[in-house]
Amino acid sequence: MRQPTAKSLTLDLLSTLSGRSLPIAALVAAGELLGLAEGSLRVAVTRLLAAGRIERDERGLYRLGSAAAPIDREVRSWRRLEERTRRWSGAWLAVHRSSPAPRGARRRAEERALRWMGLAELEPGFFVRPDNLKGGAKALRPSLLGLGLDPGALVLRADGLDPAREARARGLWDVPALEAAYDRGVESLLRSEARLETLAEGEAMVESFRLGGEMIRLLVLDPLLPAPLVDVDERRRLVRAMRRYDRVGRRAWAGFMESHGAPTARAPVHTDGGAALPMAHGELQ
């Protein structure tokens, strides 16, 4: 499991508060538990504040800022993954770039947007996913734009792919790896859930933060493929296990958060994907 950075810890912790605020002392104390120096936490807070990703109220307390809202909405969506889907008719949702692929930060933002919405490249500049998301292309477009897609890109519903492209489209995702990850995730959550009750408070906080975040990254980045492309029951099983684990994790953090006047709406977890998954709170561009 990845070590959080001062930036990702700050964003991940504030994201649990549903708009409420947290003192810098709480961020520093949480950082110490996770091996982060006070100086690095204070520098991260200053930079995030300047970028608008966190805000400070009149009491000097910190909360998540408006610039972090699009990513926060997606991170929180793991609880209702199946509510976002509908029965698949066999049609596709597609995104076509109207200009060459951008570079640098703009390119990373577009890649993040496409991956978070489960799109994969079928042809150069042409990305598809099954049309099983509620709202179809009309709802997909604002989600993609909020995550960084170029406003000039074309978002549409695609029917009638030729047989060769249809076969390639269905094979764009590594389904065996997805299903194996669901199974491993459930087993890891069940083992940790049983162990947390036996750990000291600090140890339970750290373990639930790291493992919970790993599982939420898995769910948030899941392409939400429909049956018959993937075993949707296995994905639902992981969501149910993570909901239980979230309750256990919240208990592990309850004393710490209440001591700082900030009871959480959900358990703090480490959603920073690091270099391999530059998509979550800690890697928002």
pLDDT in tens, 238-247: 999 999 999 9
Dist CA 3 CA 34 (whole Å): 8
Answer for the pair 15, 281: CB distance below 8 angstroms, yes or no.
yes
Q: Strand 126-130 relative to strand 154-158: parallel, antiparallel, unpaired?
A: unpaired
Mean per-residue pLDDT, 158-186: 97
Dist CA 208 CA 246 (whole Å): 8
Answer for the pair 269, 249: CB distance below 8 angstroms, yes or no.
yes
List the strands of the sheet with 92-96, edge to edge: 120-123, 126-130, 92-96, 154-158
Answer for the pair 147, 103: CB distance below 8 angstroms, yes or no.
no
For Cα atoms 214, 80, 4, give the angle at the middle one, nearest 5 degrees: 20
Banded pLDDT at 102 (limits 50, 70, 90): low
Higher pLDDT, 58 or 223: 223
Provide the token pair at 183: 């199974």
Answer for the pair 43, 80: CB distance below 8 angstroms, yes or no.
no
Give whichever of 86-90, 94-98, 281-285 has the largest mean pLDDT. Answer: 86-90
Higher pLDDT, 273 or 147: 147
pTM (predicted TM-score): 0.83
- The phi, psi pair for 128, rounded to 5°, reads -135, 160
Provide the token pair at 120: 């994969």
User: What mean pLDDT value characterizes the chain?
Assistant: 87
pLDDT value at position 57? Answer: 86
Mean per-residue pLDDT, 95-117: 83
pLDDT value at position 98? Answer: 74
Q: Where does residue 155 fall: left (phi above 0), alpha (psi -120 to 50 degrees), or beta otherwise?
A: beta
Residue partners of 110: CB distance under 8 A and separation at least 6: 101, 102, 148, 149, 150
pLDDT digits (tens, 9 = 90+) for 4-49: 889 989 998 888 887 788 899 999 999 999 999 999 999 999 999 9
Mean per-residue pLDDT, 200-223: 93
